[in-house]
Amino acid sequence: MIVAGIDVGTQSAKAVVYDAERKNIIASGSMAINLISTEGGVREQKAEWWIDAIKGCFDQIDPAIKKEVSAISVSGQQHGFVPVAENGKVLYNVKLWCDTSTANECSILERSFGGEERLFSECGNRILPGYTASKILWFFNNHKDLYDRMKYVMLPHDYINYYLTGKAIMEKGDASGTGLLNVRTAKWNKELCDAISPSLIDKLPSVIEEPAIIADILPAVASELGLSESCIVVSGGGDNMMSAIGTGTVKDGIVAISLGTSGTLFSSASYPVVDKKGRLAAFCSSHGTWLPLLCTMNCTVASEVFRKQMGLSAKEFDAEAEKAPIGSEGIVLLPFLNGERVPDLPKGEGVLGGISIDNLKNSNIARAVLEGVTFEFLLGLDAFKEHGMSFDKAILTGGGANSPFWRQLVADITGLQVVVPAIKESAAFGAALQAYAVASGISVEDVCALHVLYDESKDVSPDFENTVRYKAVYKKWISYVSNLESLFR
C-alpha cells in the first residue's frame, strides 16, 4: 500500500509518500512558509500560504507515484486559530502557537472560569498563551463583526482537512490543545466556551476520539495535487501527536524529545496525566490514548540566533561548543527569546548571565546556549517522575538530533540512552503511518512496531559522571530562573 503524509509546520510544509510494503519513503517534497512577526509577540500566517506550500510539495513528486497514493493524513502545527466563514473563506490571519500577544486574555479566561484549580479539575489544562482559547477571545473582543460571521473554529490541520474534503471536523488530540476540551471525556466544556461567547460552542466542530476516515478527497483537489480521486483522507492530528506516531511513542514507558523550532518532550500514557504544576500539558493523543507533553518555545530558535550572530555554520557552532567544559565556565543562558511556555513566562526574554572577564568566550556562550535549551527538558522529566513515570531511553527527533554533540549533551544531561529514528520527518511520517493503519485496519501501535525503525549508528549512551556534574550546573540554571522570573510577569 502507498500512503502519504503532509506536515504543515511554522517554517515549512512537507509531504512524504511511503511504501508500506518496502518500508521506505519513495518520494517527498518541501516548501518554505513565511511568518508575520511584529511587536507585542504577534506571530501569524495566512492560511492560503499553507495550501500554496502543499501544492508546491506535491509538484515535486513524480505524477506516477502520486496516482498510487490510496490514503493521506495531515499533521499540523498545534493551537493555531483559523476562523472560517460559511463560504469557506478564512476571516483573519492565523494566530500561531508561538503568538504570545493574547497573554492577557489567558488571565481573563482563567478568572472567568474560577481559577487554575477548577480548570485542572474540569478540563485538565490551564489556559496558556500558546493555546487556541485565548486567541478566540481576542478575536471576539477585537473583531466582533468577523467573529459573528465565523461558522467554524479550526486548527491548522483541520483547515487542511477541510481543503481536502470539504468536511469540518476535529479529532481529540489536536482539539485538546485548544484549552477548551475536557481531556478526560473528549467533550467541549460548554461553560468555558461560554466564558468567551455563548455562541462559541456551535462554532466548534464535532470531535472524533479514534483515528478514522473523514472522506474521499474532493475531485477538484485531487486534480490540483495529482492524486487519485479514490484517495481517502484520514483524520490526522497535531504535529506533536503525529510525531508520537512517527517516533513510535505510542505506548506507556517511552519518552520522546524533539529538538525543533520549539522543544517538546512527550510520552504516551494509557490514562490522562494532569500536572497541576503546569509543566506537562494534559493532551490527548491521536492514536487513542493520552499524550502528556512539555513544550518550550525556544529550542533551535536559540541556537540559530546565536550561531548566526557568531557567523558560524551549524557544525561550526557545535564544534565551538565542544571546546568549552561542562557548565560553560559559569555562563548561563535562559533561552526565553520568544517568551516561554514552560516555565510559564509569556513575557520572558533571553538572559545571558554569569559572565566574567575570564569566561567571555564564543565557546562558552555556544555551549551555554545548548545547555540552557536542554535543561528545560529536565522540567518535564521531573514532572513525569512525580507522576510515577520513568524511562531508560529517549527517542530524539527534530533538526537538533542531527548534531552528534547535541545528542551526547541530551544523553548526559538526562541520564538516558538516546536513539534516533531512521526517518527524520517524524510528523509527516507519523501522518503517513496513521493513514496506513486506518486504511489497512491495523492498530497504530502494531503499525509502529513494524515500521518505525531506528538508526543504530546514532545511538548514544550517557556518561554518568557527566550526568552527576550536570546536576550542579542545572541547579544553578534553576536558581537563575527562580530569581529572574519576577521580571517577566
| Rounded average pLDDT over 435-462 | 97
Average pLDDT along the chain: 96
Q: Does residue 239 carry a catalytic annotation? A: yes
pLDDT for residue 45 = 98
> Which residue among the candidates 239, 318, 344, 412 is catalytic per the annotation?
239
> 467 forms bridges with which residues in the sheet?
none
Per DSSP bridges, beta strands 170-171 and 207-208 are parallel
Give tens-digit pLDDT for 63-117. 999 999 999 999 999 999 999 999 999 999 999 998 989 999 999 999 999 999 9
**CA torsion angle for 281, 415, 470, 301 (degrees, to 10)?**
-50
155 burial (CB, 10 Å; 0-12 / 13-18 / 19+) is buried
Is 249-420+459-489 a CATH 3.30.420.40 domain?
Answer: yes
Give tens-digit pLDDT for 1-14. 999 999 999 999 99
| Rounded average pLDDT over 198-219 | 97
| Amino acid at position 361, single letter | K
- Give residue 225's pLDDT band: very low, low, confident or very high (50, 70, 90): very high
- Give residue 346's pLDDT band: very low, low, confident or very high (50, 70, 90): confident
Nearest to 441 by CA among 77, 71, 145, 161: 71
Residue 129: pLDDT over 90: no
Give tens-digit pLDDT for 21-59. 999 999 999 999 999 999 988 999 999 999 999 999 999
| Rounded average pLDDT over 197-218 | 97
Nearest to 266 by CA among 247, 276, 278, 362: 247
How far apart (Å, rounded) are the C-alpha atoms in residues 52 and 35?
Answer: 14
Residue 261: pLDDT over 90: no
- Residue 290, C-beta contacts closer than 8 angstroms, at least 6 positions apart: 183, 268, 269, 270, 271, 272, 273, 282, 283, 284
Q: What is the DSSP letter of 254?
A: -
- Residue 423, C-beta contacts closer than 8 angstroms, at least 6 positions apart: 25, 246, 429, 452, 453
> 150 forms bridges with which residues in the sheet?
85
pLDDT for residue 209 = 94
Q: Which helix (H) or strand (E) holds 34?
A: none
Q: Which residue has the cell 459573528?
A: 148
Helix-helix angle 300-310:314-323, to 10 degrees? 90
pTM confidence score: 0.93
How far apart (Å, rounded) are the C-alpha atoms in residues 44 and 298?
Answer: 17
Question: In the chain, what percentage of residues exceed pLDDT 70?
Answer: 100
Q: What b-and-e string marks burial along 63-86, b requiring 16 or more CB atoms within 10 Å of the CB?
A: eeebebbbbbbbbbbbbbbbbbee
- Give residue 341's pLDDT band: very low, low, confident or very high (50, 70, 90): confident
**CA 334 to chain CA centroid, nearest Å:** 21
- Give residue 488's pLDDT band: very low, low, confident or very high (50, 70, 90): confident
Question: What are the boundaries of each domain within the chain?
Answer: 2-240, 249-420+459-489
Residue 347: pLDDT over 90: no
Residue 283: pLDDT over 90: yes
- Please state which of the ranges 136-140, 248-252, 314-318, 340-344 shows the lowest mean pLDDT: 340-344
pLDDT for residue 130 = 87
Specify the fold of 2-240.
Nucleotidyltransferase; domain 5 (3.30.420)
- Give residue 344's pLDDT band: very low, low, confident or very high (50, 70, 90): confident
CA distances from 425 to 28, 397, 401, 443, 456 (A): 10, 8, 11, 21, 17
Domains 2-240 and 249-420+459-489 share a fold: yes
- Give residue 489's pLDDT band: very low, low, confident or very high (50, 70, 90): confident
Contact between 447 and 405 (Cβ < 8 Å)? no
Per DSSP bridges, beta strands 150-154 and 281-284 are unpaired
* Number of other CB atoms surrounding residue 386 within 10 Å: 12
